[in-house]
Structure 1
């Protein structure tokens, strides 16, 4: 299933050994010459679970980097640092897994590019189940709540200059017991300018929410009754409301 499986492998974080129990995803990043992996892990000593986001370098000779390898390495490091920052942002807001630590190591001999780098973000797994596996079983009310919570997560990111350029329900965990949604994977993280005239607040109607494609019907906000407030100017409305 995977081009390279990390299941069963052990990584050492300053004496704390984490064993990969299940690899959840694998993405080839041709731009950075990397693979990205999300995986469940467990501490060998105390059996505590962890969620790991892993970025590891592949041999540059397989990529058309020409003389740009040093520049690519610098950009890759910046992307990693921004993913760490976004992970911490969501962790503090209670909208993602709890951030524990991040660390860069040299790849061991058994990895695809020994002595290349491997970047880690170590997190505490949030409660609930992966939304990609359960969304068809959820009620309309649960999906409506998920839509509202997802809009809030994406708007929090937008206000802090982040956005997702890829959307998939596997990026989300939903805890039905507490009706709580978590963004667990920042694959497709990119940057945005929240002060730009083309940057609009994310709400339930936003195409960024619709793009997760788990909804049974298009969202329709209830019509508001007449009020004394001035109507929103057309030019300030998001294009999907025009």
Structure 2
């Protein structure tokens, strides 16, 4: 196992793939890992300009970075993204799967085509990324998936989303045990309400203020709050944490 966050195999920088790295929490994780000296592959689904902006931020923060377009539910595209990481930087030490979709509607009213699309990204996409990560993450590395603290809150209209993230938590526990003998950790981080475009979209001011008041810390989380947790969990400093869901939510129960 390496002794610091910047040294990978042979003393080269550790290499991270961050899905959903062009915006929101994923983009902040890209910047945070780059500040730790990582070489980062910034995955994006469609907005190349935002991905290149994230790459520029990563380089300014002190790391190396490239962008890689891939639909996370497309097995061939995800395999090609891992190929790019190995070709450009020599291997993969950390995989942070932050890509995801959210659609809110009562279970009774949800269009099943929307359900299928959401679960394609959040369940199949997580499985596809985790499958490549399980095959290709180097010893001493880490796989970090994303759940949500809303699972425990059971909020109305979140049925489809929380169902998908419950599947992610189940995958996390199973994969951590399947990686026995590989010296690779598998964890999930479950953010609480976090001030991202994904969270804020469609919510009125009253709803946002009510949710911000829920944690004992009495505020929404920020992408930087979650990025700090992610950076710890994928670094050698966090390597004794394994098979866990870390609820980064300011104390919501």
TM-score normalised to the size of structure 2?
0.27
TM-score normalised to the size of structure 1?
0.28
Please identify which structure carries the higher strand content.
1
Please identify which structure carries the higher helix content.
2
Bigger radius of gyration: 1
**Bigger relative contact order, structure 1 or 2, given CA contacts below 8 A and separation 6+?**
2
